[in-house]
Structure 1
Amino acid sequence: MSMSQTVRHVRTMARYNAWANTRLYDAVVALPPGEAVRERPSFFGSIVKTLNHVLVGDRIWFSRIAGTDAGVSRLDEVLYADPQALYGAREDFDAHIIRTVDGWDDARLAGTFRYANMAGETFEQPLHPVLTHVFNHQAHHRGQVHQMLSESGAEPPSIDLIYFLRDPASVLEAG
């Protein structure tokens, strides 16, 4: 059975995000002790706080889509202060994202879902564009972490989508 471009795109983006997160987190946990939590002039204040924000955002959006409670109360909530523990949680959630989107077909991706934002306002939106937002949100904040890695003296990894797409194993894995 042939897979639609929409389904292929969503599955590819889920795998790309996991790939980019792994490369970025490998660089973060290799930093000297204290560097990942050091306060920096950035929106969330540190590498670990920024990476926590991305995980919080992903949990919120996938909980909204599933109609469940994300278990977080603030966008700047620090779920894991330790970089290695945060890495493990990230890997687990990236696997969850991949399993989830692999179960969706065109009808699900074309459908809408209702949710309440953190202020209690309710919305109904199409799923596919919201997923695009989720993937874009990750890329946006990975760029901030990439910059903070540069400022720490570390060599930030290449995490551009094109490098992922050039890896035949990655593209085949997405379907």
Structure 2
Amino acid sequence: MDLHQHLKLMADYHRWAFDRLYAEVDRLSDADYRRDCGQFFRSVHGTLNHLLLVEHLWQARLAHTVFAASGLDAELETDRAALKRRLLDFATGWRAFVDALTPEQVAGDLAYVSLAGDAYELPYATLVLHVFNHATHHRGQVSIALVQLGQAAPVMDLPYFLNDLPRERLRG
């Protein structure tokens, strides 16, 4: 499997994992959904908002545009149902984004500026993978919050996703 094929696989996994996460998140009462569980972004809602913000931020950077954000904890969506729709739509959109990448983009670098104003230049494909890895990190935090709130933690491990795929998809 080449790197571009791996990016496509990870984009599909990204959406699959969000579907699994929301199957449990949707069971929370609104009070529990917004309860401060001691996470980086306090609540399940705050963490999911952060994920939406970062999806926007990185996709803008990767497309050589700018997404203005006041900080990583900015609330983009107050409404729970709207946040879910936007986050799942964004997660779905990564596959088309990755499909459209050229071999030169996948093999190249990306120059960008952080929210703190620091300039960086890093491998493009690695930054795409970072988006998916970052979401895995915060989906794990939401899983811990779910357990703290008396819910089941969803099974989102990559091998479960891979085991559901046709064998030919595993090899590209």
Aligned residue identity for 1:157: P
Query: Offset of 1:174 from its aligned partner?
Result: 10
Conserved 8 A contact 2:162-2:170: no
What is the SS of the residue equivalent to 1:48? helix
Q: Corresponding residue for 1:23?
A: 20
Give the count of matched residue pairs.
172
Q: Corresponding residue for 1:49?
A: 46
1:153 lines up with 2:150 in the alignment: yes
Query: Offset of 1:50 from its aligned partner?
Result: 0.7
What is the SS of the residue equivalent to 2:112? strand
Query: Following the alignment from structure 2 to structure 1, what is the Cα–Cα distance between the partners of residues 63 and 31?
Result: 36
Query: Offset of 1:60 from its aligned partner?
Result: 0.8
* Structure 2: segments with no counterpart, 5+ residues: none
Change (3 A) 1:26 1:174: farther
Conserved 8 A contact 1:53-1:75: yes
What is the SS of the residue equivalent to 1:35? helix
In the TM superposition, what whole-angstrom CA distance separates every residue of 1:63-94 from its partner, at most 9, and x where no partner exists? 01111121322100111223221110011111
Percent identity over the alignment?
Answer: 37
Moved more, 63-72 or 148-157: 63-72
So what's the TM-score if we normalise by structure 2? 0.92
Query: Following the alignment from structure 1 to structure 2, what is the Cα–Cα distance between the partners of residues 102 and 110?
Result: 14
What is the SS of the residue equivalent to 1:119? coil
Change (3 A) 1:85 1:170: farther
Query: Following the alignment from structure 2 to structure 1, what is the Cα–Cα distance between the partners of residues 161 and 139?
Result: 15
So what's the TM-score if we normalise by structure 1? 0.90
Query: Following the alignment from structure 2 to structure 1, what is the Cα–Cα distance between the partners of residues 170 and 26?
Result: 26
Aligned residue identity for 1:94: A
Query: Following the alignment from structure 1 to structure 2, what is the Cα–Cα distance between the partners of residues 160 and 120?
Result: 35
Change (3 A) 1:173 1:71: farther
Aligned residue identity for 2:26: V
* Structure 1: segments with no counterpart, 5+ residues: none
Conserved 8 A contact 1:47-1:148: yes
Conserved 8 A contact 1:164-1:170: no
Change (3 A) 1:72 1:174: farther
